[in-house]
Structures are given as structure tokens and as C-alpha cells.
Amino acid sequence: MPHREPVVEDLAVLLLLGGQSRRMGTPKHLLQHPLTQEPLYRYHLSTLLRLSAEGTFPRGVWVSARQDQLDTVDLPEVGCFSLASLPKHPLIIPDIQSVNTVLDDRETHGDIGPAAGILQAAATQPDATWLVLAVDLPFLSGDSISHLLANHAPASPVSLYLHSDDGNPEPLFSVWTPLALDQLRQNCQAGKSGPCRAAKDVWGGKIVEGKGGVKVPTEAWITDADTPEEWAEAQKRLHGIEPAGTTDASTSTATHCTGFAKVAYTATAFHDAVSLVRSLPVKRKRRAPSTTSTGQFGRGRPFDAEGSEPSGAGGYTSQADIHALLPHPLEDNSAMDGYAVAASAIAHASPAAPVLLPVLGRIVAGDAPPVCSDAASTGCWEIMTGAVFPSPGFDSVVKVEDASRTESLDARRRHMIAFSAPIHPGKNRRRRGEQFESGDVLLRVDEEVTPEAVMLLAAGGVQHGLPGREVQAHRSSRRGRVAILATGKEVVSLSDREQSLAPGQVVDCITPFLDTFLRSRDYEPVHLPPCGDSLADLSSALSTALATESFDLILTVAGVSLGSADHTPEALASIGLTQQFHGVAIRPGGPVMLSLHEATGTPVLSLPGNPIASAVCMRAFGEEVLRRLEDDEEDGREPEEWRPLDMKGANEQDGGWSAWLDRQKAGVSTFAAVPVGARGTPVAPNGVLGSTCGGPCALRSLIGAGAWVRADGARDGTPCRAYWRRF
Ligand SMILES: Nc1nc2c(c(=O)[nH]1)N[C@H]1C(S)=C(S)[C@@H](COP(=O)(O)OP(=O)(O)OC[C@H]3O[C@@H](n4cnc5c(N)ncnc54)[C@H](O)[C@@H]3O)O[C@H]1N2
Ligand code: MOO
């Protein structure tokens, strides 16, 4: 395990088992964690010992418990310290490999709540700084701890997470230096035992962000489970699965399995997300009106793929059939963040008898496919969305939220993953060329080169006539400027590409789509230098973009889902943006995220990396943000609205639509790209919508398409309503 310099020097961690668990009715520390079925205190200790092995807690891992609690726990302890037994100047050398205990001895201190445990632990090492944690935080994780430590300023006497609803500090997820502990001790002697009070007193005022307060990126991190109802809710969210029969997608939650994802997200209902956009306090950046309106997007101009028209093809019509030069996908890759397995290895897995497989390694999108000597039946690979499969024998991917990482290690000290259900061979594996093969026709003669067509052509490697980064700088426009930040080390732009792509690389087809789309709306797209997978680079690129204060909107692409390289939510939180939503009940595009930089009123829309998902989210939310920015503009332009789908008028053999609408999930809004028929209305193409490739990443559904349909799956059993609009 890599050993790092500690983020906070002389740090010890204290897990408080304390409390009477009266409202829960059963000891909270013994509740069974749903992911590993261990008691909660052991689950948390595994996390703390893992961090400790990495060097985070040079002063050891400590548990504070009453004697009756100690009798119920099984700790690899070196010594149990009670305050009464401590010499005046104790010289205690904690064991940093195992767990030290300190007796919460209320006889000596009187019943002063958690302050007793904290002060007793502090007395064992008066010069240490203490990370204090309550055991009843079900979402406690390495990430939530690292985030607090990273935001604890060295000069700060105490740091506490702030609740996002009322701004109050959370006393039992906090960092205490000797100075603050002195204050707590003095306060207790004066009869004031509340840790929040001591934190305020040592700061000489309210705890706010920057003055002892640290904004929590995800409220769940500091939500405790105090009652059976709260614990049931936490269990549900930790599983990421609604109990059978009660699925309500508008409140479903994706969570992470230890060490994998960055931030858990909860899906907001589609219409609620749109309402949030419509009330967003955005600030349009004023600038002198430009005389060089782009004017690129007149309909009906001819486009020749062989020509060298560099200034963007959007709005032209094709003069000949245009064929793909590359297949899509370029290689077999993963559709999900999870574990690549041989389906046969977990064929007999069940919740009662899960199959445990060691992690053989990790593959991130952009990595060359690893050469693996282990047999597929003996292990699994951590694999991220878009990453190329290891070979041979690994045929499917179990989503990270459907597996559990245990703290058990195999003989070679590799972590064991528990699989509790079988998987169909081929599940979540995208096959090379399954969307289109090179040579397939992507655009027919006389078809319009819409932004979506530009996405398709770019994915197919058709370079000429597409907007490239090099033609950007000269444009300006009347309506505003929008920054585009593509992320992911696997993504390369067409203009960067020479003849071939390295294994694991993909062509950026989203930036050209966004570019064409924005120019069609008379916005100036500004391509920021693409960012790899590093959190630091991403945070710095975003801070720089915000500091220029010249963008009306910032669009980020990819990195919003559950993979270990998905850093966008964390980067935005780390530079102080306020999250408006992360996760919407839509398909595709579920992981989409919207944030606001309040100081400048700049919205940041984070589009998911799957190309079709990003197109849907730009149409569904990006367009709404632009409209919000234009609220004050009176130019008589009619916004293009979603129109109700008239199924009879739309399609004479209406069977396709009914079958599709019947399949829609309650509470979810589903989008699909469809052709526009001779009557000028959308056609339900059974072949595409019904196929196995009709899912979220069905880039080929853009071939021949000219409109989006949206079906809002109703929740009360009534038929779902459908709407449509042209590209
Ligand atoms: N375990 C889970 N995995 C995934 C889930 C989930 O719920 N659980 N959601 C899936 C969904 S839905 C989507 S959509 C994607 C979104 O992922 P990210 O936004 O984090 O994007 P990446 O993982 O970085 O990339 C996804 C995919 O897109 C390709 N990509 C990225 N940028 C571009 C670009 N500019 N042009 C073309 N293609 C791009 C990338 O190579 C990946 O193949 O997550 C699912 N996973
Ligand atoms: O894979 Mo996602 O949003 O593309 O559903």
C-alpha cells in the first residue's frame, strides 16, 4: 500500500461508539453495514485502518467506548486506557497498526456526552490533533475523510463540516488541534460541554466557511442514522437499489462502493431539474456587441466532405453520401464503471453465497488493454466506462454499485470483491463496431448537417468541414461566450489526430457537436485546453475559466459518474461551486450535473461522457440555461418548444410508438433520436428503438434521424406523455 506524507501532521483518529442508542432501540455500533454485512464499527475501522496504513494517522486509530460497549466489540487492541489509570504525564505510544481503545468512563467525568470521550482520548496524547468521528455516520468513507483533512487549514484550531441545509457545524465529523481541545476542556469545567460551542469560542465567532467551517460536498456524508427509519433509508441508499416493487426513479440514488466513486448522487425528477434551471440566478456577462456574428448556421447550404471548408459544416446539406472512416466503438469497451468478470465465474453467486474474486488490476479509459496472465475465472478487473476490456475471457461488467468491496485480502494481498448475483455474458460490454462499421453511410445526400450529424460524422472520423479547435479564436458573437472543457485522457480531437489512434483512445465527437450547436444559437464557443483525468488539473482549469469572468456558461464533458477517474463533482465542490443537481431521472444522461459559481453568477453544466447522453443533456438543460441567460432579451425570437407527439399524425403504423411508450419506466423521462417522415413529423423506427443497441449509447440512432422524442413515464399508471422537437 502506498505510504503518503500525512495531510495533517500528528493526527490521530477517534471513533466514538458512545451514546445510548435510545432512539434506535439497539446499539448503533452493531448495526450491520449493508455492503459487507459487518457491524458498523468494524466497517468504519476497516476504512480507518486502510487510511492509517497509507500514513494518514501517524498517532493511531482509537475507539472510545463505554465498558458495556467494549464487551460487545472485537478489536485488535493493544491497550485500553481509562483516564483514571493514566499517569499525570502519560507517555503512550499508540500502536498504529491496530486499534487503541479509550474507556468512556462517565463516573469520572459526569455525563457530558461526546466531550467525555474526546477529552479522555486527547489526554492520552496531549500534543496530537484528533479527527473525531461518530460511529452512526453510515456514509463515512475514505473520500469524506480525505476531503475534510484536505480542507483543514494548518492554522485552523478546529475544522467541522457544515450542514448544507442550515449551515450549522457537525460536531462529530471534525478535526481538533490541542488549542481547540483546551478550549473544550475549559468549557466543560465551566459546565458547557457542547463541542460546537467550544469550536465557536476558540474561533471567537460563528463557524462559517473559511472560519472553521468546511462545506460538505454531499450532505449524506454527515447524515447520521439515529432512528430505525433513518437507518432503513441509509441502507436503501447504500445499496443504491430500491426495494422490489417500489422503484421510484425520481428519488433513486447511485452510491459508491468503497474506493470507487467520488460522490454519491440522487436523481432529481426531470421537470424539477428544468424548474431549477429556470430559476437559476445566472448573470450574463456584458460586453460590447460584436459586429462579426458567426452566421454559420443558415439552413440548406451545400457541404462537401471531401472539401476543406474549415469553418463548420453545421447548417449545410450534404452533397453526397458520407461514409464512416472508423468503426464505433473502436474497440470492445466497458459501458459502466465496475468489475470486468467472466460471467461463468459468478454463475452460481447468490446473496446467501456470494462469490469472492480478487481484483487483478485497474483499467481506466485511455489505458492500453492490459495483458493478463491470470485465468478469467480466478479474478476480476476494476474497469471504468470506456476502458478497453482485458483479455481473454472477461466478457461482462458488473456495475460497481452491484458488487461489494470487502476488506478481505487474498494470499497475494489483493482485495476481494463480493458478487451476489450472476450476470449475462456480454452484459455492459460494448462491441467494436456495434454502432457502425467503417464504410457505413452516416449521412445521405441532401441530408442536413445538424449538430447531431456533426457528432456522428466526428465519431466516424470524418474530418473535413467539421469545426476544429484551430478555427475558434476568431469568432465572437452577439449572444455570449460559452467555454467547452473536454475531460478524459482517452479523448483526442480530430484535429490532433494524425492517421491512427493509439489503443484505448477515442475521437472527441462531443466538442464538435457543442461547437456547432452553440454557433447555431449565435453563441461563441471557446474550446479550453482538454483536461486529462487529474483532479488537480480539472480544478485548476475550472478556476482559471471562472477567474476570467467572461463566460456566460461553462460546459464540462464526462467524468460525472461513478468511476475512479470521474472527478468533476469533486473538482467543482473543491473550488466552491454550489451544486444545483447531480443526477436526473432521464435516459440517457442520468449522471448530468448543474452547478453555480455564485460570486460571478456563472453556471457550469457537466455533461456525461457518452456522446448521445451529452447531446440529450445539452438539448434538455443546456438549451434551458441559454434561454435563462436570454430572459432579459427582447428580440422576438420564439424558443423552439417541445411539441406534444400526435401519434396518429406522426406515424400511420402507430404500433412502433405504442410499443415504445408502453416500455417506458415510471418517473423517468426517456429521449430517443428518430427520423422525420414525409409529413414532417417524427417516425418511430422499430428497428432502432427496439434493438439491443437502442440504449443510451446508441450513437447509430443518429443515422437518418432529425428529431428528438421525449417520453415522460408517468408514475400513477396513466399512459406516458410524449413530446418531440427537431434537431
Ligand atoms: N457503475 C456505473 N457506471 C456508469 C453509470 C452508472 O450509473 N453506474 N452511468 C453510466 C452512464 S448513464 C453514463 S452517461 C456514463 C457517464 O459517464 P461520465 O460522465 O463519468 O463519463 P466517462 O466515464 O468519463 O466517459 C463515458 C464514455 O464517454 C466517452 N467520452 C468521454 N468524453 C468523450 C468525448 N468528448 N467524445 C466522445 N466520447 C467521449 C468515454 O470514452 C467513455 O466511453 O457513465 C456510465 N457508467
Ligand atoms: O449511459 Mo448514460 O446516460 O448514456 O444512460
Query: What's the pLDDT at 259?
Result: 43
Does residue 265 sit within a domain?
no
Q: How confident is the model at residue 198 (pLDDT cuts 50, 70, 90)?
A: very high
Q: Provide the Cα torsion 567, 568, 573, 578; round to 10°.
A: -160
Q: Taking the model in full, what pTM does it have?
A: 0.66
Does residue 664 sit within a domain?
yes
Does residue 268 sit within a domain?
no
Ligand 1 touching residue 212 (CB < 6 A): no
Average pLDDT score, the chain: 79
Does residue 3 sit within a domain?
no
Query: Residue 592: pLDDT above 90?
Result: yes
* DSSP conformation letters of 483-518: EEEEB-TTEE-TTT--S---TT-EE--HHHHHHHHH
Same domain, 616 and 683: no
Give the residue-averaged pLDDT of 589-612: 94
Same domain, 39 and 148: yes
Residue nearest atom 5 of ligand 2, based on CA coordinates? 588
CB 461 within 8 A of CB 494: yes
Give the residue-averaged pLDDT of 571-586: 91
pLDDT digits (tens, 9 = 90+) for 513-529: 999 999 888 899 999 98
Domain count, the chain: 4
Please tell me the least confidently modeled range out of 247-251, 506-510, 586-590: 247-251
How many angstroms is it from 337 CA to the middle of ligand 1? 8
**CATH number for the domain that contains residue 75:** 3.90.550.10
Same domain, 43 and 130: yes
Same domain, 305 and 347: no
* Residue where a domain stops, chosen among 366, 399, 430: 430
**CATH number for the domain that contains residue 567:** 3.40.980.10
Tally of CA atoms within 13 A in the half-sphere of 12 that contains its CB: 32
Residue 679 sits in which domain range? 643-726
Does residue 222 sit within a domain?
yes
Does residue 274 sit within a domain?
no
Does residue 182 sit within a domain?
yes
Same domain, 652 and 614: no
Same domain, 106 and 223: yes
Q: Which atom of ligand 1 is nearest to the CA of 385?
A: 23
CA distance 37 to 352: 11
* Residue 305 backbone phi and psi in degrees, to 5: -60, -25
Query: Residue 307: pLDDT above 60?
Result: no
CA distance 630 to 608: 25
Q: How confident is the model at residue 632 (pLDDT cuts 50, 70, 90)?
A: low
pLDDT digits (tens, 9 = 90+) for 116-144: 899 989 998 999 999 999 999 988 887 78
Does residue 2 sit within a domain?
no
Q: Sign of dihedral through CA atoms 447, 449, 451, 452?
A: positive
Give the residue-averaged pLDDT of 325-343: 92
Reduce the DSSP state of residue 688 to 3 states and report it. helix
Query: What's the pLDDT at 442?
Result: 94
Please tell me the least confidently modeled range out of 32-46, 47-61, 223-237, 693-707: 693-707
Query: Residue 219: pLDDT above 90?
Result: no
Query: Residue 243: pLDDT above 90?
Result: no
Same domain, 448 and 558: yes
Give the residue-averaged pLDDT of 194-206: 94
Same domain, 622 and 510: yes
Q: Which atom of ligand 1 is nearest to the CA of 254?
A: 7
Query: What's the pLDDT at 287?
Result: 62
Ligand 1 touching residue 530 (CB < 6 A): no
Please tell me the least confidently modeled range out of 57-66, 252-261, 432-441, 682-691: 252-261
Ligand 1 touching residue 60 (CB < 6 A): no
Query: What's the pLDDT at 89?
Result: 31
CB 332 within 8 A of CB 503: no
Q: How confident is the model at residue 291 (pLDDT cuts 50, 70, 90)?
A: very low
Same domain, 599 and 474: yes
Query: What's the pLDDT at 53?
Result: 75
Same domain, 595 and 485: yes
Longest dimension (CA), the chain: 91
Between 500 and 713, residue with greater pLDDT:
713
Same domain, 582 and 656: no
Reduce the DSSP state of residue 539 to 3 states and report it. helix
Q: Which atom of ligand 1 is nearest to the CA of 261?
A: 1
Give the residue-averaged pLDDT of 602-630: 94
Say what the ipTM of the complex is: 0.98
Same domain, 487 and 405: no
CA distance 606 to 542: 12
- Residue 125, all three cell numbers: 496524547
